[in-house]
Amino acid sequence: MATKLRLARHGKKGKPFYHIVVADARSKRDGRYIERIGSYNPNTNPAIIDINFDRALDWVMKGAQPTDTVRAMLSYRGILYKKHLLNGVKKGALTNDQVEERFNAWLQEKEAKIEAKKDQLSADAKSAADKALSLEKEKSDTRATALANAANEAAAQAAAEETTEETTEETETTEDGPDESSEEDTENKEAE
């Protein structure tokens, strides 16, 4: 029976979530499997790969063949590198202490790269948010100045219309002739 390390899809439409399983090569993609050894969530950046290191290494050492995607994940987590080092011990090229030393050095370097990528992604997201905020603030300021200019123009136009109305009213009153109040004043003066 040929065993494979492969992905079994779960999750909803458009949001996949995978289980990393050891299965018979003849079984369906999401069918029966021998053992579940981890999970893979591609919906996050960077993707979350959670593998039981010891069980995956055990299956790889027994000869289970990973699919291309799972091979990339095993390489990412260092399982294939550990297999390579352990094969060196079998051939007598390395000792167990050298294997552990080399693997731990590689693991620390890999974790530093992952942390650097996470920091870079968060910094990029923050700078994009700051840029979007500054653009929005710039648009808001432009709109505010345009509204203030429009309000000032409207106020100036209203004041100009008001002054023209006052001057037209004054000219209309002088053209109509003497006021009734001025006639009364003249009558009062004559009576005295």
Distance CA 156, CA 170 (A): 21
Residues 3, 23 contacting (CB under 8 angstroms):
yes
Domain range 3-94, CATH architecture: 2-Layer Sandwich (3.30)
187, two tokens: 């009558």
Q: What residue ranges of the chain have pLDDT lower than 50?
A: none
The predicted structure's pLDDT at residue 44: 87
Of the CA atoms within 13 Å of residue 31, those in its CB half-sphere come to 8
Query: What pLDDT score was predicted for residue 16?
Result: 94
Tens of pLDDT, residues 13-60 = 999 999 999 999 898 888 889 999 999 999 988 889 999 999 999 999
The per-residue pLDDT for 69 is 93
pLDDT of residue 9: 93
Order the strands of the 15-24 sheet from edge to edge. Answer: 48-51, 35-41, 15-24, 3-12, 65-66
